[in-house]
Amino acid sequence: MTIADSLGLELSPPSNPGPTRFVDNLWDSNSIIDLVFLPPDNRGFGQHTLYPDICKPSDHIPLVIEVGIMETDIDLSIRPIKKDSKKEKSFITSLTNSFSNINSSAIRTKEDLERLVQQMTTIFENTWNNHSKLKHIMKHSEE
């Protein structure tokens, strides 16, 4: 409870209270050991459901809550290169050519190695950006 309090969470009661663990012997009793903690102002607070009819083969039952994702929450951009495409072949050729022009014979210190790695990182990033296309992922995107 201390951790939940520190995160601003409260114990969310299920919409259909009951045990969350069912025992298969006569010496123990069913218990509530699976809990959901949410911010009290969360739309799903007190709305999760217990499904005791579908717990097999586990002795714990599923606790299900619906999580809404608003379109405004989706703000993702990617820069893909399609596998086995002409763009991918061109990317690999450009990257190979750029890496083959790097002089790695002068690595004598840790700083020299770090500079070389940074140079390779920059080459990779620039080559990827030159061969990929920026795509914005939205609610109805296919990718």
Which pLDDT score, from 0 to 100, does residue 122 have? 95
* Single-letter amino acid code for the residue at 5: D
From the CB of residue 25, how many other CB atoms can be counted at a distance below 10 Å? 6
Q: What is the CA radius of gyration of the chain?
A: 27
Divide the 143 residues of the chain into consecutive groups of 10 and give the mean pLDDT of each group.
89 85 80 84 82 78 75 74 94 94 89 93 95 80 57
List the domain boundaries for the chain. 1-68, 73-137
The three-point CA angle 58-64-65 to 5° equals 160
Question: For tokens 């619906």, what's the residue?
Answer: 66
Degrees (nearest 5) of the Cα angle 31, 37, 41? 135
- Using CA atoms of 87, 93, 97, 98 in order, give the dihedral in degrees to the nearest 10: 30
Beta carbons of 44 and 65 less than 8 angstroms apart: yes
Whether the model pTM is above 0.85: no
Residue-level pLDDT at 36 = 84
Label residues 99-127 b or e (16+ Cβ within 10 Å = b): eeeeeeeeeeeeeeeeeeeeeeeebeeeb
For residue 68, what pLDDT is reported? Answer: 66
